[in-house]
Structure 1
Amino acid sequence: MLKTKSYLDGNSVMVELPKVNGQQPPVDQEYKVIYFEDGSIVLQPKLKDPFKDLHDGEYYEADEWEEINPLGNELL
């Protein structure tokens, strides 16, 4: 089991994450921090915005209801 210890650095609590079998977290990765009542802390990598570099209409879906006529009181 890996162990680490937190320490105070200015106004922040720091935790060093050791290498495991040559693997380590990427440098400059942003994380969402989730605190639990039992003292557990989860670091969830912040995902890249999949819509950031899209062009207008790139994910356009054809209207599937376009040629359907209502049979009763339904609204289309």
Structure 2
Amino acid sequence: MTIAVQLNTTSWVLVSSAAAGFMENQTGNVALIRVEDTPPANTDSMGHQLKNEDGLGWSRATAKNIYARLLVGQGSMIVTEG
């Protein structure tokens, strides 16, 4: 299933908790990505950068939470799980 996840600059948003999937940054801005067991603190601004219109696929033996937030603005991350 493909969904749009709304991202912002103020909080980390759960993008996926699936073992496999693909995400594409359609926010118009740089998104920060983190793989964590629990949400990072809202004051934490460190993460891997996913530039606008770039995609990222993943596949793991065990599912992990993927969180994202934006450096500026707001917009949609398109996510397909499975």
Greater RCO, 1 or 2 (C-alpha within 8 Å, sep 6+): 2
TM-score (norm 1): 0.22
TM-score (norm 2): 0.21
Structure with more strand by fraction: 2
